[in-house]
């Protein structure tokens, strides 16, 4: 495991912890750092969408969920792709 992957994992864990504590701004920043370091991290885009939705930023949330959906599809993660599609539909309501 290299330094970047350790940093990605640490930032992702920080984002998840922040979300669990309803600290959505901190979570959003952590997940943005993850996707900066690892642009193909669909899970980070998905979690960022959750944080953005919680901050009442539906357009940004939909964009993050859609990026996650596309990445999940490219990676062959069909269940996760469907979950992202569902999140998009729920955010549009």
Residue with the larger pLDDT of the pair 55 and 2: 55
CATH number 3.30.360.10 is the correct assignment for the domain at 3-92: no
Cα–chain center distance at 90? 16
**Which sign, positive or negative, has the C-alpha torsion 52, 58, 63, 65?**
positive
| pLDDT per residue as tens digits for the range 46-84 | 999 999 999 999 999 999 999 999 999 999 999 999 999
Mean pLDDT on 29-36: 96
Report domain extents, the chain.
Answer: 3-92
Write down the pLDDT at residue 80: 97
Whether 46 contacts 68, CB under 8 Å: yes
Write down the pLDDT at residue 38: 94
Q: Read off the DSSP letter of residue 77.
A: -
Q: pTM of the prediction?
A: 0.93
């Amino acid at each position: 495991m290299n330094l970047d992957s350790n940093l990605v994992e640490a930032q992702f864990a920080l984002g998840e912890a922040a979300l669990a504590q309803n600290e959505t701004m901190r979570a959003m920043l952590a997940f943005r750092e993850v996707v900066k370091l690892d642009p193909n991290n669909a899970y980070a885009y998905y979690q960022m969408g959750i944080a953005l939705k919680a901050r009442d930023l539906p357009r940004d949330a939909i964009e993050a969920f859609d990026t996650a959906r596309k990445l999940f599809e490219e990676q062959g993660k069909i269940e996760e792709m469907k979950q992202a599609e569902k999140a998009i539909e729920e955010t549009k309501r």
